[in-house]
């Protein structure tokens, strides 16, 4: 508990500080904790702690650079003065200031947003704030700014909640179990640090890691809150997934390969709208 001391300038107040501080302490102890405004998704997974965040982010930066280099060599890296790139970066500038509440490390990330010319309906944010969109998702779905913000918020949420690091940590446990037995691995003892270091320093392809349904649902909610705080209408999540469903024609596109069904996530979004609409409404009068 942090105690703030006050100087009271009064000739007869020699005994006030102790009495005042005691009253403050008693009052503070009796007050209920203030509930957080927004969505509720719990704490980050303990599996993420098995892999150093610094190494994961360094590996992500290297892999992201490779993606951009390959796209540039094929003349598929859209120039920074392209209207769509300008649009994406403007949306990101509004969203990223709200990232730090979800992950303090985000304050040191070197955020990047790039657009790759490809028909893929795809987008991602790698650990460390490395964001990529593909022209396919913008053109084929004809996304509004609100819908782009929902996609971007979702992908940023994966990075903030360290879902890739969590997956790598679980992989480390699996590898460790093969070496030392399930009992020790399950309790996080005896995991060979060379396994976690190898996974973090480049042994895992961060672009092909698959997230579970729980991770995807969590990213939907956190992303929706990020977008709402940034001034984008969270109700766009409903229209986004309706467009996704129409584009998939019964078979999920690459970006949805392991995600919950469109109907399920629309229901979750609608159920959580009352928690984020006040944030959106407030953002419009700032």
- The pTM score is 0.76
Give 190's pLDDT tier (boundaries 50, 70, 90).
very low
Give 26's pLDDT tier (boundaries 50, 70, 90).
very low
Q: What's the pLDDT at 278?
A: 96
Report the alpha-carbon distance of residue 275 to residue 41 in Å, rounded: 12
Of 177 and 58, the structure prediction assigns the larger pLDDT to 58
Q: Report the mean per-residue pLDDT for the chain.
A: 79
Q: Is the pLDDT of residue 8 over 60?
A: no
Is-catalytic flag, 147? Answer: no
The b-or-e profile of 223-239 (16+ CB within 10 A means b, else e) is: bbbbbbbbbbbbbbbbb
Q: Tokens 């650990």 belong to which residue?
A: 127
- Kindly give the residue spans of alpha helices, DSSP state H, lying in 98-162: 135-141, 145-160
Report the alpha-carbon distance of residue 278 to residue 149 in Å, rounded: 17
Q: What is the pLDDT of residues 99-109, one digit of tens each?
A: 999 999 999 99
Q: How far is CA 149 from CA 21, 67, 145, 235, in A?
A: 46, 23, 6, 11
DSSP code of residue 109: -
Report the alpha-carbon distance of residue 40 to residue 266 in Å, rounded: 17
- Range 79-99 average pLDDT: 97
* Selected catalytic residue, list 57, 112, 147, 155: 155
- Range 25-39 average pLDDT: 61
Give 173's pLDDT tier (boundaries 50, 70, 90).
low
């Amino acid at each position: 508990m942090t105690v703030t001391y006050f100087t009271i300038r009064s000739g007869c107040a020699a005994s006030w500080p102790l009495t005042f501080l005691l009253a403050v302490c008693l009052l503070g102890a009796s007050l209920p904790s203030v509930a957080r405004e927004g969505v509720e998704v719990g704490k980050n997974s303990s599996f993420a702690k098995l892999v150093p965040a610094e190494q994961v982010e360094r590996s992500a930066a290297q892999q992201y650079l490779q993606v951009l280099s390959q796209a540039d060599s094929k003349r598929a890296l859209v120039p920074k003065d392209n209207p769509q790139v300008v649009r994406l970066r403007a949306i990101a500038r509004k969203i990223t200031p709200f990232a730090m509440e979800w992950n303090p490390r985000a304050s040191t990330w070197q955020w990047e947003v790039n657009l790759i010319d490809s028909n893929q309906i795809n987008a991602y944010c790698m650990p460390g704030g490395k964001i990529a969109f593909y022209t396919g998702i913008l053109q084929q779905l004809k996304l509004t700014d609100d819908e782009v913000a929902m996609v971007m918020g979702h992908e940023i949420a994966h990075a903030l909640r360290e879902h890739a690091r969590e997956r790598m940590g679980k992989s480390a446990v699996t590898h460790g179990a093969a070496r030392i037995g399930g009992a020790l691995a399950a309790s996080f003892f005896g995991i060979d640090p060379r396994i976690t270091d190898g996974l973090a320093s480049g042994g895992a392809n961060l672009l092909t890691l698959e997230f579970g349904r729980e991770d995807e649902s969590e990213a939907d909610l956190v992303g929706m809150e990020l977008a709402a705080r940034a001034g984008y209408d969270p109700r766009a999540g409903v229209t986004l997934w309706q467009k996704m469903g129409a584009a998939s024609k019964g078979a999920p596109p690459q970006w949805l390969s392991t995600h919950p069904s469109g109907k399920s996530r629309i229901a979750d979004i609608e159920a959580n709208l009352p928690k984020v609409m006040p944030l959106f409404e407030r953002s419009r009068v700032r």
